[in-house]
Amino acid sequence: MKSKYQVDEGEMAKVIHPQCAEISTGPEEAIDYCRAAQRDERNGYELTAAMEWQKAADLMNSISAADFCWRQWERIMCLPRRLAQPIPEHPPLTDGASSVSTLGCFPNGDLPAVA
């Protein structure tokens, strides 16, 4: 009896994208994320698929396989991968100025006159 990770070449070609053949050497969890991403994208859940491509890329032990996953994330999100990281929080202002923007906080929704 085969486990869920032991498949022959023909079955693997049906499950994993052809360009992604070397992903089959990655950890089983990463392969699961790749399959889930493909399934979610096929079912119309693009943002969920992008999240799963990102998780798969983080788990890959091959640089080229991780790069493939990141390219899939970039394709879905239409963003460069450097924007996948959290935005760093800036330290609070020390000169007493408010860090809250007042843009859009005008009375009655009117914009100030431009001089």
Q: Is the pTM of this model over 0.85?
A: no
Residue 94 belongs to a domain: no
For the stretch 66-102, pLDDT in tens is 999 999 999 999 999 888 887 777 766 665 555 455 4
Residue 114 belongs to a domain: no
Whole-angstrom distance, CA of residue 28 vs CA of residue 4: 10
**Phi-psi sector, 78: left (phi>0), alpha (psi -120 to 50), beta:** left
Domain residues for the domain of 28 are: 1-84
Q: How confident is the model at residue 27 (pLDDT cuts 50, 70, 90)?
A: confident
| Residues 28, 73 contacting (CB under 8 angstroms) | no
Percent of the chain having pLDDT more than 90?
42
Residue 111 belongs to a domain: no
| Number of domains within the chain | 1
Dihedral of CA 18/22/28/34: which sign? negative
Average pLDDT, the chain: 74
